[in-house]
Amino acid sequence: MPKHSPSSLNPKAPLVLDTRDLPRRPGALRTLRRVVPAPKDLGVELIGVPEGADLDLDLRLESVSEGVLVSGTVSGRVKGECGRCLREIDDSVAVPVQELYAYENSTTDATTDEDEVGRMQDDLIDLEPALRDAVVLMLPTNPLCREDCPGLCPECGVHWDDLPADHSHEQIDPRWAGLSQLNRTEE
Ligand SMILES: [Zn+2]
Ligand SMILES: [Zn+2]
């Protein structure tokens, strides 16, 4: 992989930030508010932001000596499924974002790894990878419809909320079940 892929960023892409109007003078500041459609697969297996749903970017772009510091919040709707009862979850998240993007050919660019510090491509910043990481970190791998969701009865698959308190199934101890089958074959 070349250290810099030639600028492949489209300045009009929803998650590409254009810093051309941000002076390269430490302390210079721009705010950016923008509503963009969520990219594909923004989330984890059971919960995420639906593709195309509104993402609210509320960001500060600040010039620092070696690049641009992007910070702020990205918020949007998340949809998913309860890990215990499979009911639909419809919620919202506000994800804090803070990421430094080094100027091309800066000392930071030369002395750090692209995994540690983001890179600018000319005046453009690709926010998507950092946003993806931040969203994935925020979302639970085992989302619940509510904290104390009791889940489903393992026998009949009905939600415990919909079952009487004394709900139970007559169960044969699996060890005896095996034994009774054994007896049967012997007969
Ligand atoms: Zn649930
Ligand atoms: Zn049951």
Residue 131 lies in a domain: yes
Q: Measured in angstroms, how far is the CA atom of residue 88 from the centroid of ligand 2?
A: 21
Q: Measured in angstroms, how far is the CA atom of residue 178 from the centroid of ligand 2?
A: 22
- Assess whether pLDDT exceeds 70 at residue 9: yes
Q: Measured in angstroms, how far is the CA atom of residue 165 from the centroid of ligand 1?
A: 17
131 CB-side CA count, 13 A: 29
Residues 6+ positions from 49 with CB-CB distance below 8 Å: 38, 42, 43, 55, 76, 77, 78, 79, 93, 135
Q: Measured in angstroms, how far is the CA atom of residue 85 from the centroid of ligand 1?
A: 4
78-to-85, 95, 133, 177 alpha-carbon distances in Å: 18, 12, 15, 45
Q: The tokens 């998507």 sit on which residue?
A: 128
Q: Measured in angstroms, how far is the CA atom of residue 56 from the centroid of ligand 1?
A: 28
pLDDT-based confidence at 2, cuts 50/70/90?
very low
The dihedrals phi and psi of 131, each to the nearest 5 degrees, come to -65, -45
pLDDT-based confidence at 113, cuts 50/70/90?
confident
Residues 151-161: tens digit of each pLDDT:
999 999 999 99
Residue 158 lies in a domain: no
Residues 63-78: tens digit of each pLDDT:
999 999 999 999 999 9
Residue 181 lies in a domain: no
pLDDT-based confidence at 14, cuts 50/70/90?
very high
Residue 39 lies in a domain: yes
Number of structural domains (the chain) is: 1
Cβ atoms < 10 Å from Cβ of 151: 15
Contact at 8 Å (CB) between 143 and 47?
yes
Residue 1 lies in a domain: no
Q: Which ligand is nearest to the CA of 169?
A: 2
Domain membership of residue 119 as a residue range: 16-138
Residue 146 lies in a domain: no
Residue 133 lies in a domain: yes
Residue 116 lies in a domain: yes
